[in-house]
């Protein structure tokens, strides 16, 4: 099968978040997909199957398990489709575990239409502040645990204990976020339970972060900056129960899995 590595949410090679994209000609077992994703050892590997022009099936796997929503691997997949499979296509629909996700290409960037999911406020769970080594102001829960901290410097300088994060019961991962200085909000995302200590740029996290910060600061158009070492920018536009996430992507590798 043809295989690509694409750096998502960036204009530059070695920036953003690298995703593996496998273009499959026929459906394969999930067990094989998981083995390939484990071998690739990227935060996510996507498997895309072309059903017809503009219509595709899409699955995402971390090195340890299948996941129900992944933004950067969807962006990377749309880049591969529009550049190598259905060259020049503008509109794509992907059937996924999170329903049908639409992606529009305008040549320079890609806009994904994702569910906007408002996380629920909860008390700060036991062990979270110890795992992160910081004071948390608020906590919210959806697929991931989201904690708000005082300012951007705390997010940037954070040095968490990954083993202790994996012991926190709430959420698949932990997202640490605050208001930004140059952007509306900043974040970092940690998923040691899934075999990914820190995810460089997490599109799916912005399905939670955009509605949360939109409600806090009263905006429907926001820009998030993920403060990982590689870093990434995600433009977010809220539309009731959906959010458009916009970014760019760059091809790093094209090859074949034997």
For the entire predicted model, the pTM comes to 0.92
What mean pLDDT is predicted for residues 147-169? 98
Average pLDDT in the chain: 96
Confidence at residue 27, expressed as pLDDT on a 0 to 100 scale: 87
Does the pLDDT at position 108 exceed 90? Answer: no
Q: Are 176 and 143 in contact (CB under 8 A)?
A: no
| Helix/strand/coil for 80 | helix
pLDDT, tens only, 141-154 = 999 999 999 999 99
Does the pLDDT at position 131 exceed 90? Answer: yes
Indicate if 126 belongs to the active site.
Answer: no
Q: Which of 31, 39, 44, 167 is catalytic?
A: 44
Confidence at residue 140, expressed as pLDDT on a 0 to 100 scale: 98
C-alpha to C-alpha distance for 195 and 244, rounded to whole angstroms: 28
- How many contiguous H segments (helices) and E segments (strands) does the chain have? 6, 18
What mean pLDDT is predicted for residues 153-169? 97
pLDDT, tens only, 56-90 = 999 999 999 999 999 999 999 999 999 999 999 99
* CATH number 3.40.50.970 given to 120-239: no
Domains 2-113+246-256 and 120-239 share a fold: yes
Which value, in Å, is the radius of gyration of the alpha carbons in the chain? 17
Confidence at residue 107, expressed as pLDDT on a 0 to 100 scale: 75
* CATH number 3.40.50.2300 given to 2-113+246-256: no
| Confidence grade of residue 258 (pLDDT, cut at 50, 70, 90) | confident
Which of 72, 67, 75, 118 minimizes the C-alpha distance to 96? 67
Does the pLDDT at position 48 exceed 80? Answer: yes
DSSP 84: I
Residues 6+ apart with CB under 8 A from 157: none
Does the pLDDT at position 3 exceed 90? Answer: yes
Burial class (CB in 10 A: 0-12, 13-18, 19+), 79: buried
Q: Can you give the residue ranges of every domain in the chain? A: 2-113+246-256, 120-239
Does the pLDDT at position 93 exceed 90? Answer: yes
């Amino acid at each position: 099968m043809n295989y690509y590595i694409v750096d998502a949410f960036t204009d530059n090679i070695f920036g953003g978040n690298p995703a593996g994209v496998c273009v499959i000609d026929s459906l394969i077992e999930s067990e094989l997909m998981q083995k390939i994703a484990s071998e690739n050892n990227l935060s996510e590997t996507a498997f895309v199957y072309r059903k017809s022009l503009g219509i595709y099936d899409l699955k995402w796997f971390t090195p340890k398990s299948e996941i129900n929503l992944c933004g950067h691997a969807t962006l990377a997949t749309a880049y591969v489709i529009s550049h190598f499979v259905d060259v020049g296509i503008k509109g794509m629909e992907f059937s996924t575990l999170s329903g049908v996700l639409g992606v529009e290409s305008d040549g320079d960037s890609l806009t994904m239409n994702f569910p906007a999911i408002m996380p629920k406020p909860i008390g700060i769970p036991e062990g979270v502040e110890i795992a992160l080594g910081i004071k948390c102001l608020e906590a919210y829960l959806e697929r991931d645990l989201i904690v708000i901290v005082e300012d951007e410097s705390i997010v940037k300088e954070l040095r968490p204990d990954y083993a202790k994060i994996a012991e926190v019961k709430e959420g698949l991962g932990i997202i640490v976020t605050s208001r930004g200085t140059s952007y509306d909000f900043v974040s970092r995302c940690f998923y040691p339970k899934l075999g990914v200590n820190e995810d460089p740029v997490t599109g799916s996290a912005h399905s939670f972060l955009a509605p949360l910060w939109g409600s806090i600061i009263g905006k429907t158009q926001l820009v998030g900056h993920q403060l990982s070492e590689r870093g990434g920018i995600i433009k977010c536009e809220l539309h009731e129960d959906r959010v458009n996430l916009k970014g760019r992507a760059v091809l790093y590798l094209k090859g074949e899995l034997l």
